[in-house]
Structure 1
Amino acid sequence: MMQVNISADSTIDILNEIKANIGGNIQDIWGEHTLIVNNTIAKGSIKFIPFDWGVSLLQYDITFLEDIEFQIEIDTFNPVRFIYNLEAPFKHKFGVEKSEKTINQFESVIFTNKTNGVNCVSFEKDVKIQINIIQIVRQKFLKKRTTNISSLNDKLYEVFVDTDHEQRFFHHGTLNLRMADYVTAIKKVKSKGMLRLLKIESKIYEILTLHIQEHNMSSQGVSLPTSLITKELKLIRKISKGISKNPSFDYSLEQLSSEYGLSQVKLQDGFKFLFNRTVTEYIRHVRLETSRELIRTTDLNISQIVYTIGFTSRSYFSKIFKEKYGLTPFEYKKQVFVPIAV
């Protein structure tokens, strides 16, 4: 196994030290620092984006061509790391530990170490690594005016106020498919310059919120639904994506159960766990979100939109649209298309 020893005072230093060990070139574009590698050690990229108040993003989208372990020594730079894994498993251990913890696909982990400790993160060769890492430097983050860490649960509160890095903390989250959509959304941001960074930053805080919510649920003993295995939850996520792509189809619980080979009970349990909605509520939610987007971005009239999203009653559509958004579809359309004064 190839070992990469890293001792750095910032993430950009870490990126430079990784480059010194595995090769590649770093491109700097509009505040995004991307290490691009294509050699006998690795193929892919590692991206670093810094934001204000000690918040930064690291994205691994890379395949290592030999087993590799990063040994990150802790000195003055010791952020809290919130990690979500989109693809192949990777492993983590603190330097004082003998056994490693495996973080599988669609799982999250939160950790920070003591000063003078070592974080060991290892990756297997020939597998696609896609991980999203949000880093928070506590001393800087606590100075942010809108930061309200008193709302955190007791354990995370202790982690955030430990600005002298006296405690070691590790939390291994359960399967979280909702977070995958938020992480993937960052890759889909097409804007450039400041607008791109602002969009990415907003998504980072959404992902951070999901990490904290997951930790809260875990602390309260909320676990995966016992009626479902991981494979079935992944299938339900696939079903939800199909509904989002084709909201006008005449879905029913019976039809989905028959088509995908899951019982109606498992479908309901899975949708409630992943989206906090029943199957019917999720379909209605997707249709309403689609209708709002159509009102905002097309010239279709309300009747045409009702047909396009799969509803048959305009009055029913108007009723549930107002219940959800506080405006009728017509009122929303008027609000979106405000005439420009000449």
Structure 2
Amino acid sequence: MDGYDGDLIENLGAAKMTIDNNHGVGYISLYELMPGLTAWIYNINFNKDLVIDMRFMEDRPYYFGYNVSGYQLQKFPEEVDYKKIQQGQNFVIISKPNSSSEFVIPKNISYKCCYIIINPKLLNESKVASKLKLVSDLAESFKLKGDSDPYRYFGNIDARIGTYADIVLKNKRTDITGRLITEGAILRMLGSQIEAHAHDSSTHNFKPALTKSKLSRITNIGEYILSNISEKISIDEISLHLRISPKKLQSGIRFLYGYSANEYLTRLRLEHSKELMHSTEMNISEICFAVGYQSKSYFSKIFLDTFGNTPSAYRKSYEDANLLYDISYRSLAEDSLTVKNVDEIINIAREFNPKFKITGSIIFHRNIFFQIIEGPKKEVLTLFKNICNDRRHKDIQVMWRGFKIKREFDEWAMATISDEGELEVVIQGNTKNLELSNVLGKLDRSAMESESLWRKVRNIIKLDANESAA
């Protein structure tokens, strides 16, 4: 990835490169779960084909992968034609030591993929029983013999593995909890891939009745249902949208997800209702209609049958945990906004937010606002709704939202960024000056509006807030 001019953020055991330029838009992340077990996450759209010439080491590592979205091409040096790895497909590649494999990620597609790379030599060196067991299990599953020929396994379309890969891709938390979520999902994904390979091997390369192309198409069903979740959706409508016959659609859903089509639709509606309970202040009746049910009593019954709690009881148990809610966003101020207006906004925040147990930080620079708001969920969501309705700014982009265990701030903080890239921030009563030019790069207008910059600022402010509180 040399020459892609991305913004690189490195943490202990993890790194993330964000690209937003003529090469493409998105990010590539790396996690080292332990020496010998690493995960690479691609969530990116390239403007031209990316060709990767992967050189294999003498240690003969295992490369597990899963395409959540998009596809890629692969071939070994002696091959003329590429093999296509489709969306939703599980794959494993092991090459000869000191050989190579070529991958091509096509341009102009939403490419989302998780790779898990295992180096058996490094795992063996640890002498830890669990790691040694993993090495022996892999050797037994794949039965490799010394410097044998390259090994390639392209499995069936498998939505179960996709469930874990999707968690890794969607998890934007950068704290310890977020890392644990990522690590747990990666390990479960690996276990599912090994299990899928063992199943296919023991059933003589078991093949479903549908082609992999059709199964790959069916993996888009969730996105279609969620975009129409409040409507009455029929199998015939989904069939028409995916260009697959109703009979094959039913068969594919059963194969991929283990549910009938109606059971899968119900599950999606119910899971979405839980998300709305977590992220909104909609009442149960409103949520019932929002996920496509016309009867509140029927909605409560199937929710109870599925999760063991009524919707009201589920929401109460979650809220009784007294977790804090956090929203971070970036917005563009209207051109007519004056310094006096900004002072008024800050003064109102400092006066009223403590009354609602809301703390956080706000930055204003070059007509751009950035805020971190934390506190009780109801109060934070009410405040954010008012913020969204405020005509003094526009183009609101949420950087992160979700629950957390403790506050980053004891009070309301104000920060500004100078033209030289210096962050002057008042946190916990102390003024901090942080030189950010090496981190933020050139602060032109496009950089100031970019999501990646404000994600960096968020991390820096949170880090400094924690240090000040220590």
Kept in 1: contact 2:56–2:95 (CA 8 A): no
Q: Residue 335 of structure 1 aligns with which residue?
A: 317
Query: 1:284 aligned to 2:266?
Result: yes
Aligned residues: 312
Q: Which residue does the alignment assign to 1:5?
A: none
- Percent of aligned pairs sharing the same letter: 23
Greater gyration radius: 2
Counterpart check, 1:191 vs 2:173: yes
In structure 1, the partner of 2:254 is 272
Q: What pairs with 1:52-131 in structure 2 (closer than 5 Å)? A: 52=34, 54-60=36-42, 61=44, 63=46, 68=51, 70=53, 72-76=55-59, 78-85=60-67, 86-93=69-76, 102-106=83-87, 107-113=89-95, 116-123=97-104, 131=113
Distance (whole Å) between structure 2 residues aligned to residue 37 and residue 304 of structure 1: 39
Structure 1 residue 292: deviation in Å? Answer: 2.3
Q: Which blocks of at least 5 consecutive residues in structure 1 are unaligned? A: 1-17
CA distance in structure 2 between the partners assigned to 1:73 and 1:133 by the alignment: 15
Aligned residue in 2 for 1:173:
155
- 1:182-331 aligned within 5 A: 182-219=164-201, 220-221=203-204, 223-226=206-209, 228-257=210-239, 261-331=243-313
Query: Which residues of structure 2 form unaligned runs of 5+?
Result: 323-470
For normalisation by structure 1, the TM-score amounts to: 0.71
CA contact under 8 A between 1:113 and 1:165: conserved in structure 2? no
In the TM superposition, residue 266 of structure 1 has moved relative to its aligned partner by: 1.4
For residues 46 and 254 of structure 1, the distance between their equivalents in structure 2, rounded to whole angstroms, comes to 38
CA RMSD of aligned residues (A): 4.1
Taking the aligned partners of 1:36 and 1:322, their CA distance within structure 2 comes to 42
Corresponding residue SS for 1:174: strand
Query: Which structure's relative contact order is higher, taking Cα pairs within 8 Å and 6+ residues apart?
Result: 1
Question: Secondary structure at 2:199's aligned position in 1?
Answer: helix
Shift of 1:218: 1.6
Aligned to 1:12: none
Residues 160/260 of structure 1: CA separation in 2 closer, same or farther (3 Å cut): closer
Please report the TM-score for the alignment, with normalisation by the length of structure 2. Answer: 0.54
- Which deviates more from structure 2 when the two are superposed, residues 83-92 or residues 136-145? 136-145
Give the AA of the match of 2:100.
Answer: N
Q: Equivalents in 2 of 1:243, 1:130: separation in Å?
A: 20
With over 3 angstroms needed to count, the CA separation of the structure-2 counterparts of 1:299 and 1:223, relative to structure 1, is: same
Distance 1:291 1:221, change over 3 A: farther
User: Amino acid of the residue matched to residue 214 of structure 2?
Assistant: E
Higher strand share: 2
Are the equivalent residues in 2 in contact too, given 1:30–1:193 (CA < 8 A)? no
Q: Is the 8 A contact 1:149 1:157 kept in 2?
A: no
Secondary structure of 1:51's aligned partner:
strand
2:239–2:245 Cα contact (<8 Å) kept:
yes
8 Å CA contact 1:271–1:277 kept in 2: the answer is yes
1:126 offset after TM fit, Å? 5.6
| Inter-partner Cα distance in structure 2 for 1:248 and 1:64 | 35
Query: Alignment partner of 2:281: what SS?
Result: coil
The structure-2 alpha-carbon separation of the partners of 1:320 and 1:147, relative to structure 1 and needing over 3 Å to count, comes to farther
CA displacement at 1:279 relative to structure 2 = 1.1
Contact 1:88 1:127 in 2 (8 A): no
Which stretch of structure 1 is more off in the superposition, 287-296 or 189-198? 189-198
The corresponding residue for 1:33 is: 15
Contact 1:109 1:173 (C-alpha < 8 Å) held by counterparts? yes
